[in-house]
Amino acid sequence: MNLLKTLLDNYIILKGENRDLYYDIKDSYKSFKSFVEEKLGYNLIIHQDFIKLEKFPGRVEPWMGIGDFKEKLDYCLLMLLLMFLEDKGKEEQFVLSSLIDYINGNFDLERIDWTIYSNRRSLIRVLKFAQNLKLIKVTDGQEQDFADSEGAEVLYENTGISKYIVRTFPVDISFAKNLEDLLNFAPDSVDEQRGIFRRHRVYRTLVLNPVMYNYGSEDQDFGYIKNYKSRIEEDLAKYLDWKLHVHREGALVVLDEGERIKDSFPNSTGISDIVLLLNKRLLELLKRGELVLAENSWICIDKEEFWEIIKRLKKDKDRGWSKEYREGKLDYLVSEILEFMKGFNMLEKTGDKIYVKPLIGKVMGDYPEDYLEKEE
């Protein structure tokens, strides 16, 4: 059970860094193989140097992406880096200038001006990301030199893992016309009719997404949850010891108190505490009639009103906040809240409108009655 959680919670398990965990997973995989392959539809790659569960979401959401990336260029450069590494052998070294030459020769949109600082920072973000995934490692030099000057040089070593980063597809993806084609490519139309891919989508969404919303009577994936709720509950309890909560507006997985996995809510960050307080404040305003619930159970709030709500919350509760948010500017606090809540599918922002989603009613919090008094 814990081994499966480890696979879900980590991008890759390197044998060189955790030999015991590598062999534990390799030896125990059969105990949860049926859940991984039949319910999630995932492939476990067992390599002599690493183990990787090839994960991808059931539903693609606007908030998904690589957290450290800031521009579309970052993703383009990552793909070019992977292409560059494709022809490199394990432990083969290369210099930064050779990568830049490759990018210049293969980036079809336009020639990148490396004299522009933001473009150099974009490549540095990609290189840092690749190092965190253990795709490359620095042998000599540092990226900060490149940030200061486009002529700086850094020596890297290829680890050989990059060939296993991009997901494998059962068909030729050159026929894909859009994102939906990539997500729904099926090698056999009969499988699609049998609902295999729907089952995979549902289980993946429940396991990887903060919440799976109900988009109405035509939402067949949510209908699958209602029809097979007992079976899904049994699977989640058996293999992950997680609980399934199903409501009219959506379904989500709930962890036991004290269990911590990456990117879960609530977490130990200061902004997580503030969002818990904000969720409760929003529900209080809703009950008092100061906010209105739409037919889809979303709350639409004007930008100015949302800022005012946070301003009042800060005035009432910031004695328990970290210095960063207690003394920081309101603009910064609001931007942090918006980014955090979008990342957990709690809201969307469109123009000057904030759309708060039903998940806020599921997870909220407040200080003990005497906490703020003690802070004073």
Which pair of tokens denotes residue 12?
């890759």
d(CA 184, CA 204): 14
d(CA 324, CA 68): 20
pLDDT at 189: 46
CATH of 72-164, one of 3.40.50, 3.10.450, 1.10.10, 1.20.81: 1.10.10
E strand or H helix that includes residue 353: strand 353-356
- 10 contacts 17 by C-beta, under 8 angstroms: no
pLDDT at 167: 75
Asked if 72-164 and 270-375 have one fold, the answer is yes
Question: In Å, how far are 24, 43, 207, 367 from 7, measured between CA atoms?
Answer: 12, 11, 12, 35
What are the extents of the domains in the chain? 1-56, 72-164, 187-262, 270-375
- 41 contacts 320 by C-beta, under 8 angstroms: no
Q: Which amino acid is located at 190 in the chain?
A: V
d(CA 8, CA 206): 12
Q: What is the pLDDT along the chain (376 residues), one digit of tens a residue?
A: 689 999 999 989 999 889 999 999 999 999 999 999 999 999 999 999 999 999 888 887 777 888 889 899 999 999 999 999 999 999 999 999 999 999 999 988 778 999 999 999 999 999 999 999 899 999 988 888 888 887 888 999 999 889 888 877 767 777 778 777 776 665 444 455 557 889 999 999 999 999 999 988 888 999 999 999 999 999 999 999 999 999 999 999 999 887 878 888 888 889 999 999 999 999 999 999 999 998 789 999 999 999 999 999 999 988 889 999 999 999 999 999 999 999 999 999 999 999 999 999 999 998 887 765 665 5
- 246 contacts 255 by C-beta, under 8 angstroms: no
pLDDT at 65: 83
Residue 29 φ then ψ, to 5°:
-60, -35
Q: Where are the beta strands (DSSP E) in 81-168?
A: 93-95, 136-140, 155-158
Which pair of tokens denotes residue 172?
């030729």
Class of domain 270-375: mainly alpha
d(CA 17, CA 131): 14
Q: Which residues is 137 bridged to in the sheet?
A: 157
Helix 2-9, helix 19-28: angle, nearest 10? 120
